[in-house]
Structure 1
Amino acid sequence: MENASTTTLVMKRQFEVAPERVFDAWLNPDMMRKWLFTLEATNKIARNDPRVGGTWEIVDVREGKEYRAIGEYLAIDRPRKLVLTFKMPQFSDTVDRITVEFKAVDAGCEMTFSQEIVVPHEEDWTAEDIEKALTEYHDQTEHGWGYMFEGLKQLLETGKINYPS
């Protein structure tokens, strides 16, 4: 995309379950609807075709508004690596790339998540404006994934997510 920059977010998380279970939580629609861009109570659609070239879709409804996240699988190597695209068409035409790697460790699984975040520029932005936007996109994205990964950890380790009231 012309008039855009990218920033990369990298996060690591530990799970006290086997890498296969963490990997599968990214692909199983029944699991996806509980943590991936949605909550079970507000999820409208959790669709998935887990093969290279296959697509995924999550639709969440909050306060009467639909939020749609979609993407395509670029690589699936169970239980080691998953590469997919990510787009929220209601907000932007940009397409991010997500890579998730899973590694067995003594305590269970270490997941390394990275997202190449495309940040569109507005007309007349200065270098300072671009840097500020890159930081904001990075930090907001990290915050959102932090909540999702906490939910995923609870779901995998206890069977349920304790949502804050």
Structure 2
Amino acid sequence: MNNISTTTLKMIREFNVEPERVFDAWLNPVMMKKWFFTLEGTNKVARNDPKVGGDWEIVDHREGKDYRAVGEYLEIDPPKKLVFTFKMPQFSELEDIITVEIKEISTGCEMTFTQLIHVSPEENWTKADIEKALGEYHDGSEHGWNLMFMGLKELVETGDISYKG
């Protein structure tokens, strides 16, 4: 796996709750299955071992298919910082690195989400092809996380989630 290209997605969101509540939503399997890459109604697996070196797994069933996301926790500093790997083995063996930083603000907390996205170019790709793929991965990831973060906001601020992502 050489010639891996990367792009960085950075998103900032504010929540009208204490940092601990948002941090917990990333690690508590009961909360994870309501927003993190899945919804309660389509979730088949929400499992994690929230310690450095521990792993996590989400399996979501959509349109007759199972989608599996897995990773490993690299850093856990409650309620300020979480770093973990993110991989969807059915699409790629490449792992992205996700960093979630949460800080207290006067109205609650601010979450800064950063995803280091890895793309493995095809053998015959030109530089333009690589740039196009990086843009598509970035924009597709941003769209998906936008939907998830709407659900996360609703979950932590109201205790429930009703959006259909």
Q: TM-score, normalised by structure 1?
A: 0.98
Give how far 1:164 is off: 4.5
Task: Look up the equivalent residue of 1:145 and give its one-letter code.
Answer: W
Matches of 2:59 and 2:124 in 1, distance apart?
34
Provide the secondary structure at the position in 2 that maps to 1:135: helix
**Is 1:32 aligned to 2:32, yes or no?**
yes
Matches of 2:113 and 2:52 in 1, distance apart?
19
Q: TM-score, normalised by structure 2?
A: 0.98
CA 1:109–1:33 in structure 2 vs 1: closer, same or farther (change >3 Å)?
same
Q: Which residue of 1 aligns with 2:115?
A: 115
Matches of 1:22 and 1:163 in 2, distance apart?
18
Task: Look up the equivalent residue of 2:145 and give its one-letter code.
Answer: W
Q: Give every structure 1 segment of 4 or more consecutive aligned residues whose post-TM-superposition deviation is greater than 4 Å.
A: none
Q: Which residue of 2 aligns with 1:45?
A: 45
**1:99-110 → structure 2 map (5 Å cutoff):** 99-110=99-110
Matches of 1:133 and 1:41 in 2, distance apart?
32
Matches of 1:72 and 1:142 in 2, distance apart?
21
Q: Which residue of 1 aligns with 2:16?
A: 16
Summarize deviations over 1:64-107 as a string: whole Å, max 9, x none: 21000000000000001000000000000100000000000001
Matches of 2:65 and 2:3 in 1, distance apart?
29
Matched pairs, number: 165
Task: Look up the equivalent residue of 2:49 and give its one-letter code.
Answer: D
Provide the secondary structure at the position in 1 that maps to 2:27: coil
Q: Which residue of 2 aligns with 1:81?
A: 81
Give how far 1:53 is off: 0.2
Matches of 2:59 and 2:115 in 1, distance apart?
20
CA-based RMSD: 1.0
Task: Look up the equivalent residue of 2:125 and give its one-letter code.
Answer: W
Summarize deviations over 1:95-126 as a string: whole Å, max 9, x none: 00000000000010100000000011011101
Q: Which residue of 2 aligns with 1:66?
A: 66
Q: Which residue of 1 aligns with 2:143?
A: 143
Which sections of structure 1, spanning at least 5 residues, go unmatched?
Answer: none
**Is 1:131 aligned to 2:109, yes or no?**
no
Give how far 1:3 is off: 2.8
**Is 1:95 aligned to 2:95, yes or no?**
yes
Matches of 2:114 and 2:139 in 1, distance apart?
13
